[in-house]
Structures are given as structure tokens and as C-alpha cells.
């Protein structure tokens, strides 16, 4: 989803519900995970999360500042 202004409405990214309900996202595909944000391989490295590139997953707690 490239047009998901979740901060203006529900406060949750659309991908979470689309993944849970197996409904299509804006690109016409069902999300493969419930990630509301994508982290780059460099961020995973900086966080010390092991594993091959594009296979690592983690949960991130975040909030608006």
C-alpha cells in the first residue's frame, strides 16, 4: 500500500487487516506478512538481527513523536 494514511484514520496500517483477512492490497496482491513498515537490510544489521537478506522478520514497537 503506497497510499495508506493510517495516521489520519484508524491509526493502524491497512496491511495488518489485509494480511489477517487475506484481502488484496492496493497492488492487487494479498500481503505476505502484516508489516506496516518495511525495514532495510541495513536496519536489520544495525539492530543485530541475524539471517540472510530479505528473510528476516521482527516486531517493532513504534510511536509518533
pLDDT in tens, 30-54: 998 887 777 889 999 999 999 998 8
Distance CA 40, CA 55 (A): 11
Mean pLDDT of 2-24: 87
Q: Report which of 32, 22, 27 is spatially closest to residue 2, judged by C-alpha positions.
A: 27
Distance CA 18, CA 24 (A): 6
Does the structure show a pLDDT above 80 at 17?
A: yes
Question: pTM for this structure?
Answer: 0.61
Share of the chain above pLDDT 90, in %: 42
Distances from the Cα of 41 to the Cα of 6, 21, 28, 46, 52, angstroms: 24, 28, 25, 9, 9
Distance CA 14, CA 16 (A): 5
Amino acid at each position: 500500500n503506497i497510499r495508506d494514511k493510517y495516521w489520519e484514520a484508524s491509526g493502524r496500517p491497512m496491511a495488518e487487516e489485509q494480511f489477517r483477512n487475506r484481502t488484496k492490497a492496493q497492488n492487487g496482491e494479498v500481503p505476505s506478512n502484516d508489516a506496516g513498515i518495511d525495514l532495510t537490510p541495513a536496519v536489520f544489521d544495525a539492530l543485530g538481527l541475524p539471517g540472510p537478506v530479505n528473510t528476516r522478520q521482527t516486531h517493532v514497537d513504534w510511536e509518533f513523536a
